[in-house]
């Protein structure tokens, strides 16, 4: 079963300097390589800062756009892993290994299987 591991953290607490990012990179790379070797990695990516976000809605037939995220929160979504796990417990175990869990939150959600397009 596929699980989306959504990574949330307060952007102010995320390593920002090039030096901090270089120091963190090997840990993130090692995790992705371990997931790939174990056959659970499907996809992953980080997201641009929330300041780059746009919210889109259609109301009364009109497209409305708003700068920024849908809701103001203490933590912002910063990226994701899509994994293939045996069950929820395995997905939780994978989430617990994501480096940002130490200063943020990982939301684990099953991906709905809507079937292949016909």
Q: Given a cut of 90, is residue 18 above it in pLDDT?
A: no
Distance of CA 70 to the CA centre of its chain: 16
For the domain covering 2-110, report its CATH number: 3.30.70.1060
Instruction: Give the pLDDT mean for 77-102.
Output: 95
Residue located via tokens 């840990």 = 27
**Lookup: tokens for 30:** 């090692």
Q: Per residue in 60-88, pLDDT tens?
A: 999 999 887 666 677 888 999 999 999 99
> CA torsion sign, 37 to 39 to 42 to 44?
negative
Average pLDDT score over the chain: 89
Do 83 and 42 meet the contact criterion of CB atoms below 8 Å apart? yes
Rounded Cα distance, 94 and 31, in Å: 9
CA–CA separation, 80 and 5 (whole Å): 5
């Amino acid at each position: 079963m596929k699980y989306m591991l959504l990574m949330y953290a307060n952007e102010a607490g995320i390593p920002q300097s090039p030096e901090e990012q270089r120091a963190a990179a090997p840990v993130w790379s090692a995790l992705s390589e371990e997931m790939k070797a174990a056959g659970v990695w499907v996809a992953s990516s980080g997201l641009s800062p929330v300041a780059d976000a746009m919210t889109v809605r259609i109301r009364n037939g009109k497209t409305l756009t708003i700068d920024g995220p849908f809701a103001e929160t203490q933590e912002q979504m910063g990226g994701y892993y899509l994994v293939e796990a045996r069950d929820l417990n395995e997905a939780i175990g994978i989430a617990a290994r994501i480096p940002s869990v130490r200063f943020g939150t990982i939301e684990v959600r099953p991906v709905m299987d809507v079937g292949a397009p016909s």
